[in-house]
Structure 1
């Protein structure tokens, strides 16, 4: 079997089609906020290359529309992926494994921002990944991943098989898989269901040139919203560090925070004190880096977290300063 490696350009494969879905064509102009949706009937399916497809679940209105988007229309090029990451992708792909970019790196690529790192997810087991690369270690107990050392950098690789057990946790919240869906679609969907925010729930297949969106992430990118994948209270109770990540992402991208997510941040803000001090310090350092320090501090103040995390900064002068600066971060 011959598999083309990732280069600076890659031929787009025809978009996948699946029987349980009906199609809606998505037109992506150069300006992302001007993204439009055009409804069409099933007869428009397979209009040819260059179209993006939006797949709507027919029997489950509680689930966001599933979308498979042509990465070329989104402006994604494989040359935007770092060389070490492309090497790891190519090695795994040549061995017959499915590989995708996932999470914040896909979000940043869509936003035409340079990702600070690239995360890969694969159908290979982590032990198989470790055997494949000479310099590779499995790290993490709760959520193990592989650190692949490539050309002086570390590329993080996770496995569908490791995360699979978690997905059933959310089925009680009315989020259920459709009947008779494709196995690979189901596997990708289950993994995205475990992501923190919808905008981090995008997967990019750089070989098929498809961006998979099962959680409504593209819509929230267009609306510049930070929204949890599952009910926010449940999400933050499971991992209170997501509260700080929500603030960091909103501050760095200039996004607003959805009302439900914002309310849960306020209600559960004190839960971040359960994190160990080293983790808190790391999250605060992330917030204050990359030119988003002021926006991060303003959001910490708005949600009552500044007193908890940086009490010396939460003096009267600071409160007056943030009151003057505060504007439209909640939506």
Structure 2
């Protein structure tokens, strides 16, 4: 086996950047991501009467728009086949159907949507009758899960959202002037969305995009803005704070002034969320190709010390400022991971949790680059440390010397290397235990002035055990029957399901390419 055979230093064979279309131009932002925004020439179409501005940011009234989806470069071929089948199934029965939410935003931005959400004039019980495999889930906000071609398509009903409309409103709204009944029904539903860029509705049959909340304008400006006043929106649902971070990180957008203010000042609201919900939101940030940007934003807005105080302590200890544009090893590891993932190519949560634990162990005790390389190779091959050391010793490129977690290289003997690799594996396991210990987590930032108190542990036992399995082969010896993966190709379906082989392969590739960057000879 040779290093070149493993292809850890190879660039991904696919591009994560979306293609350019004639109506888009490329714009670079100071954040870690670049986005494509709409050209002014495509923002055209019939205008309805002005809608009342309920978001509390300025006095400019939003102009309602109907836009031709083809003018925005959207084709029905961009919609997944299972989703098209569900849309057609409801349409042929006489119901109106629309795509709604983030999938419309992503289609406009020429990005692959993570999933597609449908809303229809049909009652949920009528949706159930329309498909052979369909069930209603949820009590407070019931929706239908339609099973189609080995995937699930979510379908909601206008009638369900109408029953929830207006409950507990503390802000003034009024019926849109000059709108017909259908406009009002659509507008009412969009008003319940979290952010304006998610408040777009797409009729794929009429090829019309309805913009009642100013979402197109905010896409042009690359802004994340709440539909209703941000303070009210976040107090209604604290998870919207984390969704705001996730969306901004994934798209490279910034927050509107009011939204940014309340993301920071109401950050403590996330502590009211269930731990399972926190893990889900964190997984959306870390496992779908925008982990580095998410970590930067969590740190910038004071959320990292609540969610991941151990990693926040690392930023404090290394003098990493809130708006710092520099990088460090933690961010570099996740930057490498991001290059391999995408919204439609996620990883299982055990991978990013394992990277957090690995980095913490390394920051506690810096190691020789050769030890780190041999450790990652031993994880990859299922615990065959001698083979991993032989491969590592043949590395003929220099390591990244800017990381404090890597000590100066030494000419270590094989026996010393074996002991160091096993010690690093034991340290990673110990760190995992600390990350799931409320007392240790609460003390993570105690040595730093004005450190917030957080004993939040949202990593469940099952996930902890899954991460342990990734690394235990290094301390327990080579696993019988385990066959290391060759080449650079990743089976994303298995990676998303938590396949041990795919997780180890991807972890090793991320670590190896971080320590020995592709651009170094």
The normalised TM-score by structure 1 is 0.82
User: Aligned ranges for residues 1-331 of structure 1 at < 5 Å?
Assistant: 29-31=23-25, 32-36=37-41, 52-57=45-50, 64-169=62-167, 173-317=171-315, 320-323=319-322, 325-326=324-325
Q: What is the Cα deviation at residue 64 of structure 1?
A: 1.8
Aligned to 2:416: none
The secondary structure found in structure 2 opposite 1:149 is strand
Aligned residues: 288
Deviation at 1:175, TM superposition (A): 2.6
Equivalent residue of 1:321, what SS? coil
Deviates further, 168-177 or 226-235: 168-177
Cα distance change on mapping 1:326 and 1:270 into 2, 3 Å = farther
Q: 1:208 to 1:291 in 2, by over 3 A?
A: same
Q: Distance in 1 between matches of 2:301 and 2:110?
A: 29
User: Is contact 1:102–1:201 with CA below 8 Å preserved after alignment?
Assistant: yes
Shift of 1:243: 0.3
* CA distance in 1: counterparts of 2:199 and 2:177, whole angstroms: 21
Gaps (5+ residues) in structure 1? Answer: 1-27, 39-50
Q: Is the 8 A contact 2:51 2:212 kept in 1?
A: no
- Residue 94 and residue 35 in structure 1: after superposition, are their counterparts in 2 closer, same or farther (change >3 A)? same
**Cα deviation, residue 117, structure 1:** 0.6
Aligned equivalents of 1:253, 1:34: Cα separation in 2: 17
Helix, strand or coil at the partner of 2:129 = helix
User: 2: distance between equivalents of 1:183 and 1:85?
Assistant: 27
Alpha-carbon contact 2:124-2:144 (below 8 Å) kept: yes
Shift of 1:142: 1.5
Q: CA deviation at 1:180?
A: 4.4
Q: Relative to 1, partners in 2 of residues 1:187 and 1:324: Cα closer, same or farther, differing over 3 Å?
A: closer
**What are the Cα deviations for residues 68-94 of structure 1, in whole angstroms up to 9, with x where unaligned?**
001010001000001110000001001
Is the contact between residue 267 and residue 303 of structure 2 (CA under 8 Å) also seen in structure 1?
yes
Q: Distance in 2 between matches of 1:224 and 1:97?
A: 34
Q: CA deviation at 1:171?
A: 6.3
Decide which structure has greater strand share. 1
Distance 1:290 1:87, change over 3 A: same
Contact 2:49/2:176 (<8 A) preserved: no
Say which SS state the counterpart of residue 173 (structure 1) adopts: coil
**1:88-133: per-residue Cα shift (whole Å, max 9, x none)?**
0001001000000000000000000000110000000111101111
Q: Report Cα offsets for 1:188-209 as digits up to 9, x if no partner.
A: 0000000000000000000000
| 1: CA distance, partners of 2:268 / 2:51 | 41
Contact 2:51-2:177 at 8 Å conserved across structures: no
**Runs of at least 5 residues in structure 2 that lack an aligned partner in the other structure:** 1-21, 26-36, 54-58, 327-521
Q: Looking at CA atoms only, which structure, 1 or 2, has the larger radius of gyration?
A: 2
Displacement of 1:186: 0.2
Q: Normalising by structure 2, what TM-score?
A: 0.53
Q: d(CA) in 2 for partners of 1:62 and 1:35? A: 19
Structure 1 contact 199–218 (Cα < 8 Å) conserved: yes
User: Is contact 1:170-1:230 (8 Å) kept?
Assistant: no
- Following the alignment from structure 2 to structure 1, what is the Cα–Cα distance between the partners of residues 47 and 293? 34
Asked if the contact 2:51–2:63 (Cα under 8 Å) also holds between the matched residues in 1, the reply is no
Question: In the superposition, relative to structure 1, how do residues 262 and 183 fare at CA in structure 2: closer, same or farther (>3 Å)?
Answer: same
Partner secondary structure for residue 195 of structure 1: coil
For residue 181 of structure 1, report the CA deviation from its aligned partner. 1.7
SS of equivalent to 1:320: coil
Partner Cα distance (2:227, 2:170) in 1? 14
CA distance in 1, matches of 2:304, 2:70: 42
Whether contact under 8 Å (1:177, 1:186) holds in the other structure is yes
Structure 1 runs of 4+ aligned residues shifted over 6 Å read 58-62
Deviations 1:284-312 (A, max 9, x none): 11111222111111111111111111111
